């Protein structure tokens, strides 16, 4: 008899963080968020698939508005969805400190491995690293940089792009 045992997550979320994740994962509320905060993401059809303590998954459809003349997903559209997979983790872990910690991208690297000719799903698994960086910034008052990796794959599992976003977290004065 097979029994599935759910593992305890490495990163425990507070009640406030769980509410934030639930709100962001609600399809209507997420569309409203993108419409008001990231309108190009709304137009591109970005979606937030999962948002947990350790990881975040976003997706970007392959459609007319996201294509380039080479019949693949435009690199800037991929960058936007990739960034969301890291930013949402930062926002999740900041939801307890949002008024006291500022965060911004200070660097980005990208590698495009294969043409994206289908829906692309980006997964970032650096939630624990983000949580520790935010805690350090909160405790020390110093700026802390966290370099997060996200990988974009098509439904067949083919990796199409890899991004590294370096986020700076700093306690507000």
Identify which of 35, 81, 39 has the alpha carbon closest to the alpha carbon of residue 62.
Answer: 81
Q: pTM value?
A: 0.89
Cα 18 to Cα 32: distance, rounded to the nearest angstrom? 19
**Per-position pLDDT tens, the chain of length 173:** 455 544 555 778 888 889 999 999 999 999 999 999 999 999 999 999 999 999 999 999 999 999 989 999 999 999 999 999 999 999 999 987 767 888 999 999 999 999 999 999 999 999 999 999 999 998 888 999 999 999 999 999 999 999 999 999 998 88
Its CATH class, for the domain covering 15-171, is: alpha beta
Distances (CA, A) of 77 to 3, 41, 63, 84, 172: 41, 8, 11, 11, 31
Token pair of 101 as six digits: 């910690």
């Amino acid at each position: 008899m097979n029994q599935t045992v759910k593992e305890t997550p490495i990163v425990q979320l507070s009640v406030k963080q769980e509410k934030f994740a639930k709100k962001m994962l609600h399809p209507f509320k997420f569309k409203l968020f993108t419409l008001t905060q990231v309108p190009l993401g709304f137009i591109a059809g970005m979606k937030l698939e999962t948002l947990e303590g350790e990881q975040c998954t976003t997706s970007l459809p392959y459609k007319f508005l996201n294509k380039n003349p080479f019949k693949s997903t435009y690199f800037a559209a991929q960058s936007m969805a990739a960034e969301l997979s890291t930013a949402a983790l930062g926002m999740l872990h900041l939801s307890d400190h949002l008024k006291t910690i500022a965060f911004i991208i200070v660097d980005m690297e990208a590698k495009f491995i294969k043409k994206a000719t289908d829906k692309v799903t980006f997964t970032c698994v650096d939630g624990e690293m983000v949580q520790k960086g935010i805690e350090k910034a909160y405790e020390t008052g110093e700026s802390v940089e966290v370099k997060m990796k996200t990988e974009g794959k098509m439904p067949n599992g083919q990796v199409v792009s890899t991004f590294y976003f370096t986020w700076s977290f700093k306690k507000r004065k």
